[in-house]
Structure 1
């Protein structure tokens, strides 16, 4: 995720380092909105009931998903906003523009019962912070609740600079290793999250639509903050890159970059609680 930075944790679970910045979420909101795969809306709308909707947004942050999606849904809506951070939840509920309820808690413990009555589950930049087991449990909860799931902006592990630099590949590989790191005893999926989520939903009989949703960044404040965090994470993973970091970052400040993400829409399926786990 590019949530990596500055500390964007989105309420993923107890072992994720806390302290993400609402300012970072606000800064990235327009890039997120531009990147999300709008062509998933047609199959999504076809799968939703004609009646009023109840939308559960997991790891809602400041509410950017609701601000993007709610105006695109024709039905009356009520949103249920989930996050670990009560301050973010209050901020989101006051600014999403639709009736909203807030629920603070650990997203990795959600079950179908928690999503009972949901018409749709959404999440943005969340899957890559989860483990394979947690993604499997999320698929179980969504299919058990009998509702579609729109899971956007999962990091894809692809970063392309223009013009290129000889160190791009090394920093990119180190960053992807950082995304797959073990933290608090949890092995994060990082760039493998979209594949894991697709497999988890397909195992349960769901149809999964997948689309690219890359950021296209030019030099501005979002780009500068993203680049600083990206380089920092790479160096944390591979300290041997530290002597090159300052010069490399300075060279990259005037580049353009495409940061790969993936959007998934899972429709249908049924829970399979007898599974022994992902695999």
Structure 2
């Protein structure tokens, strides 16, 4: 969570988190997606056949910047976001990209809400991707997305879904979990699951629900952990993250403001003095549709 709800999708926040996101992602699932896309194309001139990839909630294009240079073959990317300004940033920053084998990247942008995205934005997709998105959505949203992907017979690669595993570590690397940590992190999880406008958000249950929803539709699913590990080199991101947590806690527990401020100050000082590091857990998921006949399925 960034410094404020209004900043959740700001270009500044997305830029701040991009290096940590890219370090955290599981490379093996990206390799699996690359192999699946190559095998999905016809065997003759397979790498010259353009794949269609959809990036949901693309923001300023971080997910595309990670994936496009790691996937082989010609790629047509359909970038979907509700924010026209972020879509413009994404196009500007991503137009110079080429694929892993030097083929062109074609970009298309669509200004759509997420609900409209899976109603109107997934047609012809080979792979649907998203990053750091699903904690904000409802279980009904996730089921609707899984069903639309199934109807369109496309694979999915969803990265960096928060899983609730947050720990501070001392200088030796030993995890810390004081009473205050336990209290604050439980309150944060409750805040994440608050109604964002269309029902209770999935919060840290998003990885589990996505996995189960895809399994019910016959998808072959692989998962991997992708935690942020924030040390001195990531202090600006850690500071922004803790500021966002403090704001969320003040909303969730206004009667505990003194305890929240004390905890925030102690943990921030520990990070600034390089006495603490911070791990924030995420999970990545790659799933292939049942019609794949085993292409890209896990061993």
1:190 positional shift = 0.3
Are 1:111 and 1:140, in contact at CA under 8 Å, matched by a contact in 2?
Answer: no
1:218 positional shift = 1.5
**SS at structure 1 position matched to 2:18:** helix
1:39 positional shift = 1.1
2:156 corresponds to 1:149? yes
2:24 to 2, 27, 35: 35
1:258 positional shift = 0.5
Are 1:7 and 1:21, in contact at CA under 8 Å, matched by a contact in 2?
Answer: no
- Where do 5+ consecutive residues of structure 2 fail to align? 98-104, 171-175, 292-299
User: 2:84 matched to which residue of 1?
Assistant: 86
2:3 to 1, 6, 31: 6
2:59 corresponds to 1:46? no
Are 2:229 and 2:280, in contact at CA under 8 Å, matched by a contact in 1?
Answer: yes
1:58 to 56, 59, 78: 56
2:114 corresponds to 1:107? yes
Counterparts in 2 of 1:139 and 1:185: CA distance versus 1, 3 Å: closer
Counterparts in 2 of 1:19 and 1:218: CA distance versus 1, 3 Å: closer
Q: TM-score, normalised by structure 1?
A: 0.88
1:200 to 201, 213, 230: 213
Are 1:210 and 1:263, in contact at CA under 8 Å, matched by a contact in 2?
Answer: yes
Stretch deviating more after TM superposition (132-141 or 90-99): 90-99
Hey, what's the Cα distance between the residues in 1 that align with 2:143 and 2:222?
A: 17
2:242 to 222, 227, 231: 227
2:4 corresponds to 1:23? no
Q: Which is greater in Rg? A: 2
**SS at structure 2 position matched to 1:176:** helix
2:91 corresponds to 1:70? no
Counterparts in 2 of 1:100 and 1:131: CA distance versus 1, 3 Å: same
Query: CA RMSD, aligned part only?
Result: 1.7
1:170 positional shift = 0.7
Stretch deviating more after TM superposition (48-57 or 215-224): 48-57
Superposed, 1:119-130 pairs within 5 Å as 119-130=126-137
Hey, what's the Cα distance between the residues in 2 that align with 1:20 and 1:113?
A: 22
- Where do 5+ consecutive residues of structure 1 fail to align? 9-16, 271-279
**SS at structure 1 position matched to 2:290:** coil
2:166 corresponds to 1:159? yes
How many residue pairs get aligned? The number is: 259
**SS at structure 1 position matched to 2:124:** coil
Bigger fraction of residues in helix: 2
1:180 positional shift = 0.8
**SS at structure 1 position matched to 2:184:** helix
User: 1:239 matched to which residue of 2?
Assistant: 254
Are 2:80 and 2:117, in contact at CA under 8 Å, matched by a contact in 1?
Answer: no
2:271 corresponds to 1:248? no
Stretch deviating more after TM superposition (155-164 or 80-89): 155-164
